[in-house]
């Protein structure tokens, strides 16, 4: 794999040099004021990105999976019931994690390519007249299928049902790339990771925790130690950590937020939407379709491309890596071999995306797939030419 080429996997994403340099710290005393000066801007910056109106930000040395575990162990007790839809590999993994912790999971089976079914969530909560369900789990952006779910719609369903369950949202591949409104959507725990929209190396689980979730922490009885929010918050009050933190990554997180806010979060989200639409135009130009069942479900951070009959998406991913030194994502779980995935989040521009689309076309042609070289690239070019900010002015 050439280190000169950008990656087109849905995370870890390409890292800006400014963030890489920010992570390059000499050893510091993590119990000194020097660490607090690094840590506080990172935490406050995450609060702004998540659009929180209360609660706490927790930054753990882990990845998104560790964030999932922290969410459930800090708020739930053995035998508690949770409600979750299964509509992709990552919603499935969160379900599996809950079961391993002795939770009772009511699963709403949903076709892969669909999002979380708000109507069925509402019906299940209405049927739970005894209030057994303690939490609803939702994956905002299902990375395996390139599908976004309507979190505001899920909160509306919960409110209409008059149910008091907590709402936990996996935003690992959406936060800092797609609009996320933690307070407005009534999210109780939002889980992100450092390696996607924040453009950092893997190694941090980033959580926004509402006041309601913090209150649940006081009665939760699932075992927790390393991920115990109580220990974290006690140490936060003194400006530190209960154990050794990943100081370099935290410094990088503060720089990441600074870069996102310098660009402007609305502009960041618009850029991702624009990049995604160009990829979707290319997919249509190839005569193919996204895995997402309808256009409104299409993710702005990753597109899972359904391959032609008789073809295998894994073959394309392997060839791209071997011959051209470019990384795409393989299909996972039920869509293994049926799709290949193009990640378009983080540090990417229209020009970089076009290079990935051109590589995908070359691989399809090399494999004998029915594609005309240039068809997808031209479709994306035509869209980008008319949508890049400042282009009309430049043309004048």
* Kind of pairing between the strands at 289-290 and 339-343: unpaired
| Angle made by CA atoms 355, 356, 357, in degrees to the nearest 5 | 95
Q: What pLDDT was estimated at residue 390? A: 60
User: What DSSP element (H or E) covers 316?
Assistant: helix 313-319
Q: What pLDDT was estimated at residue 396? A: 34
| Cα→Cα distances 379→160, 237, 354, 371, 388, Å | 43, 53, 10, 13, 15
pLDDT along the chain (396 residues), means of 10: 86 96 93 90 97 97 97 98 97 97 98 98 98 98 98 98 98 98 98 98 98 97 97 89 94 98 98 98 98 98 98 98 97 97 98 98 98 97 89 38
Q: What pLDDT was estimated at residue 394? A: 38
Domains and CATH numbers, the chain: 17-261 (3.40.640.10), 264-395 (3.90.1150.10)
DSSP 232-253: HHHHHTTTS-SS---HHHHHHH
CB 337 within 8 A of CB 291: no
Distant-in-sequence contacts of 263-269, Cβ < 8 A, 24+ apart: 265/49, 267/389, 268/176, 268/177, 269/177, 269/178, 269/179, 269/300
Q: What pLDDT was estimated at residue 89? A: 96
Q: Classify burial at 150, counting beta carbons within 10 Å of its beta carbon; exposed 0-12, middle 13-18, buried 19 or more.
A: middle
Taking the complete model, does pTM exceed 0.75, yes or no? yes
User: What DSSP element (H or E) covers 284?
Assistant: helix 265-285
| Cα→Cα distances 314→50, 96, 304, 317, 367, Å | 35, 25, 12, 5, 11
Q: What pLDDT was estimated at residue 325? A: 97
């Amino acid at each position: 794999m050439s280190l000169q080429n950008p990656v087109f996997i849905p995370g870890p994403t390409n890292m800006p040099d400014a963030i890489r340099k920010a992570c390059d710290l000499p050893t510091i005393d993590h119990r000194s004021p020097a660490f607090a000066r690094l840590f506080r801007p990172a935490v406050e910056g995450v609060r702004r990105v998540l659009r929180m109106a209360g609660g706490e930000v927790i930054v753990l040395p882990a990845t998104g999976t560790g964030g999932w575990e922290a969410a459930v162990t800090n708020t739930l007790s053995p035998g508690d019931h949770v409600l979750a839809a299964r509509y992709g590999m990552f919603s499935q993994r969160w379900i599996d994690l809950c079961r391993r912790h002795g939770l009772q999971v009511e699963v709403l089976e949903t076709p892969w390519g669909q999002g979380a079914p708000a109507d069925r969530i509402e019906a299940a909560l209405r049927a739970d007249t005894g209030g057994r369900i303690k939490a609803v789990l939702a994956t905002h952006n299902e990375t395996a299928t390139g599908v976004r779910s309507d979190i505001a719609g899920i909160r509306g369903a919960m409110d209409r049902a008059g149910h008091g369950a907590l709402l936990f949202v996996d935003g690992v591949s959406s936060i800092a790339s797609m609009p996320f409104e933690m307070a407005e959507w009534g999210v109780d725990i939002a889980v992100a990771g450092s390696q996607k929209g924040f453009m950092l190396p893997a190694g941090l689980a980033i959580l926004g925790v509402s006041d309601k979730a913090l209150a649940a922490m006081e009665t939760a009885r699932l075992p927790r130690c390393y991920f115990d929010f109580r220990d974290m918050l006690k140490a936060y009050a003194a400006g530190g950590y209960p154990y050794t933190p990943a100081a370099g990554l935290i410094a990088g997180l503060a720089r990441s937020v600074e870069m996102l806010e310098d660009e402007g979060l609305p502009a960041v989200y618009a850029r991702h939407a624009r990049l995604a639409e160009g990829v979707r135009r290319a997919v249509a130009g190839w005569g193919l379709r996204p895995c997402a069942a309808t256009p409104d479900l299409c993710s702005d951070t990753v597109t899972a491309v359904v391959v032609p009959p008789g073809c295998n998406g894994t073959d394309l991913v392997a060839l791209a890596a071997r011959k051209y030194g470019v990384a795409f994502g393989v299909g996972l779980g039920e869509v293994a071999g049926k799709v290949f995935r193009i990640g378009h989040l983080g540090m990417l521009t229209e020009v970089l995306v076009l290079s990935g689309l051109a590589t995908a076309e070359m691989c399809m042609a090399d494999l004998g797939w029915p594609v005309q070289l240039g068809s997808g690239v031209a479709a994306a070019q035509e869209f980008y030419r008319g949508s890049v900010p400042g282009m009309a002015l430049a043309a004048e």
